[in-house]
Structure formats: C-alpha cells, structure tokens
Structure 1
Amino acid sequence: MTMVLSRVRRLTDEGAGPLFMLSNSLDMSVVISPWGATLRSWRVPDRYGRVADILLGYPSEKGWQENLHFMGATVGRWANRMSNARFSLDGRLFQVDRNEGNHLLHGGYTGFHRRLWSARIQDDTLVLGLTSPDGDGGFPGAVNVQLAYRLDDEGRLLLDYQASSDAPTPINLTAHPYFNLGGDGRDIRDHQLRIDAEQVLHTDKALIPTHQAPVAGSAFDFRSPAPIGARLSWLEPQLTLAGGFDHCYVLPGGRGDLREVAHVHEPSSGRSLTVLTTEPGLQFYSGNHLRLVPGRHGLYQAHAGFCLEAQAFPNQINSPDPVQAEAVVLRPGQHYRQQTCYWLQTL
C-alpha cells in the first residue's frame, strides 16, 4: 500500500497531555490523544463537501479520562473477553482483573485505555509508546508496546502495533473507535455493511465464545452488503443475548498480510469505510450499550455507532487447542506486530 505524506502537528495541552492532529489534502483531520492512545476525532467531508465528525466522542475531558465505553481507545493487554479472567501458561495459573462480572473485558480496570502513552512525531507519523510492567493487571512479563498512526492523502489511517516482552504473556491489541458515517451520532441502521467471512463465533450469555457457526442463512451473513438496521430486527437468539451484534467473525486466511476484510457505506452522506487488517478476527459491535451516554452529538442511544475491531479471537488464550492458545502468547525474543487500516472515502 503506497502511503503519501500527511501532516502531523501538536495541539494545545488538555487534561492528561497534549493532543495531536493528522491531516491530509482531502480536508480530513484526525485528533489523537496519548491518554489511552485514543482516536478522539475524525472529521471527513461528505459528498457535498460538508465536514462532520464520523467518530463518537465525549463532550468533556472527564469523559475521555474515564472512558467507560472505550471510545476510540487502544485496548490491551487483552482485547475483548477472557473467561473467568484467568489463563494457564507454561503450567502456571494467572488471575487477571475481573471487570465484567467474573470475566476480563478489554484489559481490565487499568488497561491500556487508561494509561498515558509517550508521544513523538517522526516524519509523517505519530508514534506512541507504553511500558506495561510485570504483574500489570495480573499479567506476567514487562511488555513494551509501540503504536504508530499515519494518515495518507487517499484517506487511509494506518495503525501499526509492535510489542515485545521479557517473559511469556498473552497479548491481543485492538482499536475501539465507534463510527457513524452520517456524522450526526443518531443511528447506524441505514449503514450498509459487508464482512468477508463465512464463519462467526457464537457465544454464551456472558458473550464468551462457545463455537464457530456458518453465517449462511442467519442475521450474521454480511457477505453481500446489507443494512445493519434490518439485521438487528431479525429474531435471532444470539442477537437477543447481546442486545444486538457483539460477535467476532472468523476472517479467511488467518493472521498474515494486510488485506481487505470489511466495507461500510452510508448512503445519505456518500461516506464509505473499508477495513484492512493482518488479524484473524473482526469483532462487529453495534453499540448496544450506548444508552443515554453523554456525547459530542448529544445523548447517544443504542446503535448510535458501530465498531469493527480487528484482533485475535476472544478468549483464545483459553482455547482447548494448544496451537490456538500458543498463537496469542508473546515470548522473549519474539516480536508482536499487528496492522489495521481504516480507509475513509466519499463516493
């Protein structure tokens, strides 16, 4: 993928640190905070040239500091859910934060979304860094993480994650922006979604995966573009459990090269989002728990935004398949790398 130089500049300090803006020749601007390595804003023109923010966000610094809904945050050490907030590794049992009932969600109470990352500008890139000490949230090993953000003149925002550890530890990083391509934060029901996957992970009532299931003939079949709202109306037990979509799709090809895996189009604005990733899983979350959440667009309601989170599979470290479990372990001398690209276009 050819990347064209973007502009990166530091804005005034706010709250826990400075803000940084990436901009390009398409009148796009992305604002990023080192607090949680968070995507706070992405302003994009519609087909008529009217610029709006296509990310949900909080109206005050207090909301960003607490970030109870993980808006725009970088999630780690473990994205998504871990059953009973524990795992076994090399014969030892580790107990980590329980922050969703008996389970771990998105790194726990003091996950990466509630840490101040270091920040530096390197040419066309904003580079953020974090050291997670041994025992952090119950996880073993000291982990060094780097996340590079780069916006090009085609509208592609590339997120390049790298990490190393001094002891074996599970790792699963992702980004958690809530998109609403209409730019008004009202509703995502008219958004047309395509996900290039034939299998999805079904879950129990705690949203812990139980098994893979084919998408064919179900509400989860987005192999051809379909409106999100129409699918939310299906009488589907899995949707009832989650209050909507909150499920991980099994992407073809597994972990590997950066490739296109999903596409979303919002008809009234003409804005489209393409997701590319190196990861094996894509969590589609339809904003089910956004109920009277104060936001920059007013009070957000359920389905005001959607997330497409590229990652390993939820609870994969506890997989009965030892190969699957080992695939998410970072060992000394190994190098973790993950790339995800969000590509915004106006058609």
Structure 2
Amino acid sequence: MGKKMVVEKSGFGKIGTQPVYLYKITNKNKTSISILSYAATWQNFEVVEDGVKHSLVEHFDNLEDYIKTPYQVGKTIGRVAGRIKDAKFEINGVKYQLKPNDGRNLLHCGNQGLQYQNFDAAIDSDNSVVLSHTIEGEDGFPGTMKVNIRYSLNDDDEVSITYKAQTDHDTLFNPTCHVYFDIGSENIRQQQLKINAKKFVDVDEDKIPTGKFLSTSNAYDFRNFKKIGQGLKQLKPLDKFEFDNAFVVGNKAATIKSNERAIDLYTDRRGLVIFTANPKDVQKSDQHDYSSLAMELQSLPDAINHDDFGNTVLNAGQSVSYTNKYKYRKL
C-alpha cells in the first residue's frame, strides 16, 4: 500500500512585500502537482515511472521567470481568457469600452487580470488547495468579483481545477489555465494530439473570431491521433507556422500522448485553444522551434460578441462554477 495523500507548503519568493507560496500535492502513486499563490499558477505536474520523475508541463523554478515571461506559463487567466474584439462589449444593454492591449483589441482581459495577482491560498483537504482573490474593476471590467480556484489531485492521477466566481455587478467570467504540455522525451512535434472537434473558430488577421465555424480538415483535423509536427507541416501551404486556434469540443475535449504516456483533458465548457510556443526561448519561438503546446480549456474566445459561442456573462448576485480535468495515463 502506498502512503496517503499529502500537501506541503513552501516559500517561492516575494512580490514586493507579499510572500508567494508553493503548494505541492502528492498522491499514493507519487504523482504530484505544484501550485503557486502567484497567478494561481499550475507550476508543475510530475509523475514517477519505474522510479524516474517526469515533468509533464513547461515550468520555471523561480518566481522572476514567471513574472517576466509574456507567455503566461501555467497561470490562471481571468476574468476573461482570449481576445475581445475592439476591447468592447455589451451586457444587458449597457455598453463597455475597455483599454486595448493587443492592437485595437483586448487580450486576456488586460494588464491587471488574475494572471498578475497574488492569491490568498489555503490547504483545503489532504488533496486540495483553494486560492482566492477579489478583483475590483481592474482594466475597466464592471463589478467587484470574488474568485475561488480549487486545485485537486486524486489517487487516479486526475487533476481537477474548479473556478468559482460571484459578482455584485453584471460582468464577464471565462477563466482558463494557460498550461503548456510537453509530456514525452521526444520533441513536441513528435508527440501526438487528438481533439474531439468537428469545428474550429474562423479568425481574421488579428486572431479575432469572425463568427463563423470552419470544418476541421487538413492541418486542423485532429479527430484521430496525429503528430503535432504533421499538423504544423500541413499549415505551411497556408503560409502559417503556428497553431493558435480555438476548437469546439465536447466533455472529453482532447488527448495529448507521447510514446510513454498520455493526458486526457475534460471540460464542462465547449472551447479548447491550442497554441504552439517555446516559452523559455523567444528566439526559438520566433523561428517556429517549439518546445510545448498550450492547451487552454474555456468558453470560446470573444463569446460575448457572438450569440452561439457560449454564455460568459455572470449576472450580479449570481455565482458560477466551471471545472477542467486532466488525467494522466501510463501507456
């Protein structure tokens, strides 16, 4: 019999005078996840196979790199993940104009979102950590919103992230974890991806949804397992060199696998954004030399401006809860 679940807390530096903490949850299989209070970040996902540790996500071992990288590695993005066209929207007849931070548009809800906040954190049980933060009108969003994020790990090697929020004013809520997977010893291009999607979101040159859905064909067809590198190769005739796309998914959204192991992704929303990147080496990223694949489970981007993209409005006095799950399997 393995030992029971354990949660450990340690220091991970400071932001100004505020201490940042790391919480590590380990199950009976010695599988572990680590979470930072800064940005409610999923810092590591580690498994032990035949006595050898393997990290399955791109991560940094110091706070400074998390703060300075533009790639939002492992961070909670919120209130709203993705882009909002022209940084404006309307809720219940009231128009809001926010300050753009991506050309004319708003990306990841601006420069003061959850991804820049240090959360209060507490060990909630022998397998969960809960992080909480109150945001008050940052970046022009209406309302004071209380956010709770629970990270759990069970003995079946499944990670759950549950996002809860309540607000005193009609506002938007569509958070995600900006986690980058690299789960094998082989290059990310050799790892295989399956996305349970028949459609993906059409976007313009600024990566803003047009409102149309396209059928998943050629480069965008991951309905059966396909090497990520094969998909990138299929993009070349389109004069494209990266994936940064939103797919319309079901409850079992996707699977990424290497020669040795796999991770299944589940969501109660209907969007999955994939993004090829190299967060530790911007020059390599610019040369399309990728090290990992971001897989962001969320409602579809710019949903507030498209009737059939999913509801991201959170009304005053109401609360909402979303859960994303990631299950590790040894092959």
1:307 to 290, 294, 297: 294
Contact 1:163 1:335 in 2 (8 A): yes
Identical positions, percent: 28
Verify: 1:87 aligned to 2:89, yes or no: yes
SS of match in other structure, 1:84: helix
Contact 2:73 2:279 in 1 (8 A): no
Q: Which amino acid aligns with 2:6?
A: R
Q: Which residue of 2 aligns with 1:232?
A: 232
CA distance in 1, matches of 2:229, 2:248: 22
Q: Which residue of 2 aligns with 1:52?
A: 54
Q: Which residue of 1 aligns with 2:13?
A: 14
CA distance in 2, matches of 1:157, 1:105: 27
Verify: 1:340 aligned to 2:324, yes or no: yes
**CA, structure 1 residues 335+302, in 2 after alignment: closer, same or farther (shift >3 Å)?**
farther
**How much is the aligned-residue C-alpha RMSD, in angstroms?**
2.4
Q: Which residue of 2 aligns with 1:256?
A: none
**CA, structure 1 residues 198+239, in 2 after alignment: closer, same or farther (shift >3 Å)?**
farther
Contact 2:261 2:329 in 1 (8 A): yes
Contact 2:87 2:104 in 1 (8 A): yes
Q: How is 1:142-221 mapped onto 2 (pairs within 5 angstroms)?
A: 142-182=144-184, 187-210=187-210, 211-215=212-216, 217-221=217-221
Contact 1:291 1:302 in 2 (8 A): no
Q: Which residue of 1 aligns with 2:281?
A: 292
Q: Which amino acid aligns with 1:200?
A: F
Unaligned runs of 5+ in 1: 253-258
Tell me the number of residue pairs that the alignment of Structure 1 and Structure 2 aligns.
322
CA distance in 2, matches of 1:130, 1:86: 25
Contact 1:24 1:151 in 2 (8 A): yes
**CA, structure 1 residues 137+237, in 2 after alignment: closer, same or farther (shift >3 Å)?**
farther
CA distance in 1, matches of 2:249, 2:84: 20
Q: Which residue of 1 aligns with 2:315?
A: 331
**CA, structure 1 residues 57+239, in 2 after alignment: closer, same or farther (shift >3 Å)?**
farther
The offset of 1:34, in angstroms, is 0.6
Q: Which amino acid aligns with 2:304?
A: I
CA distance in 2, matches of 1:188, 1:181: 8
Contact 1:203 1:238 in 2 (8 A): no
Unaligned runs of 5+ in 2: none
Q: Which amino acid aligns with 1:6?
A: M
**CA, structure 1 residues 132+71, in 2 after alignment: closer, same or farther (shift >3 Å)?**
same
Q: Which amino acid aligns with 2:274?
A: F
Q: How is 1:227-266 mapped onto 2 (pairs within 5 angstroms)?
A: 227-235=227-235, 240=240, 243-252=241-250, 259-266=251-258
**CA, structure 1 residues 232+324, in 2 after alignment: closer, same or farther (shift >3 Å)?**
closer
**CA, structure 1 residues 58+239, in 2 after alignment: closer, same or farther (shift >3 Å)?**
farther
The offset of 1:125, in angstroms, is 1.1
Q: Which amino acid aligns with 2:264?
A: T
The offset of 1:166, in angstroms, is 0.5
CA distance in 1, matches of 2:237, 2:120: 44
CA distance in 1, matches of 2:237, 2:97: 31
- Over residues 208-230 of structure 1, what are the superposed CA-to-partner deviations in whole Å (9 max), with x where a residue is unaligned? 11210111x32111111110101
The offset of 1:235, in angstroms, is 4.1
**CA, structure 1 residues 9+238, in 2 after alignment: closer, same or farther (shift >3 Å)?**
farther
SS of match in other structure, 1:229: helix
CA distance in 2, matches of 1:227, 1:167: 45
**CA, structure 1 residues 317+282, in 2 after alignment: closer, same or farther (shift >3 Å)?**
same
**CA, structure 1 residues 239+119, in 2 after alignment: closer, same or farther (shift >3 Å)?**
farther
Contact 1:58 1:294 in 2 (8 A): no
The offset of 1:237, in angstroms, is 6.7
CA distance in 2, matches of 1:34, 1:101: 30
Verify: 1:277 aligned to 2:267, yes or no: yes
- Over residues 287-323 of structure 1, what are the superposed CA-to-partner deviations in whole Å (9 max), with x where a residue is unaligned? 2x6472499xxxx97421111111111111112x3x7
- Over residues 25-70 of structure 1, what are the superposed CA-to-partner deviations in whole Å (9 max), with x where a residue is unaligned? 2222211111000011122234x44212221123532111234111
SS of match in other structure, 1:219: helix
**CA, structure 1 residues 199+11, in 2 after alignment: closer, same or farther (shift >3 Å)?**
same
TM value normalised by structure 1: 0.86
Q: Which amino acid aligns with 1:57?
A: H
CA distance in 2, matches of 1:239, 1:286: 16
Structure with a larger share of its residues in strand: 2
Q: Which amino acid aligns with 1:161?
A: Y
Q: Which amino acid aligns with 1:342?
A: Y
- Over residues 248-298 of structure 1, what are the superposed CA-to-partner deviations in whole Å (9 max), with x where a residue is unaligned? 11124xxxxxx322111101xx121100110111111122x6472499xxx
SS of match in other structure, 1:230: helix
- For CA contacts below 8 A with separation 6 or more, give which structure has more relative contact order: 1
Contact 1:232 1:239 in 2 (8 A): no
CA distance in 1, matches of 2:113, 2:320: 18
